[in-house]
Structure 1
Amino acid sequence: MSEKRTIFQQRMRVLNKLYNYGCKTEKDLQKLTIENILEINGITIPEMSVITELQKQVKAGTLYSYLGGGENEQSD
C-alpha cells in the first residue's frame, strides 16, 4: 500500500471520528479544544496531530488540497 494512500486513510478515519463526535462543520472543527479532542472515543496521539493540522488547513482555506495530498495552488 502506498504511503499517500495510508495517509489519506488516516485522515479519513480522523474525519469519521470527528463526525461521530458531532463535529460536522468547519466552524465545529475550529471550536474544538484539547479537552474536546480528548473526549473523542478511541482518539490516538497521531490522530490528535491530524486534527490540529485539519484546523490549520481550514483556517488557511486549504483543506481540500490537504485532504487530497496536493499542494495549495493559491499564492498570497
Structure 2
Amino acid sequence: MESSWTQRQNKEFEKALAKYDIETPDKWQNIANEVGKTVEEVKRQFEILKEDVRRIERGQVPFPYRTNNSNSN
C-alpha cells in the first residue's frame, strides 16, 4: 500500500535526513516520528529519493529553474 506525502512532510523528511545521520541510533524511527509516517514508509520514501537523485545525476530530469545565464547572481 502506498501512502501520499504532503509537501510539508517531504520538507520535514529532508530536514530529518540532514539531522539524523547514519550513526544516529534509531535513525529511521526518529525520522518517522518527525514526519508522522511509519518506518517502512520513510525507508520507501528514501529509496524513491535516491532514485530521483540518480536520475538527476544522469541528466534525465530537466531543470526548469536553470537559465541560460546561470552563472550570474
TM-score (norm: length of structure 1): 0.39
Larger radius of gyration: 2
Query: Which structure has more helix as a fraction of its residues?
Result: 1
TM-score (norm: length of structure 2): 0.40
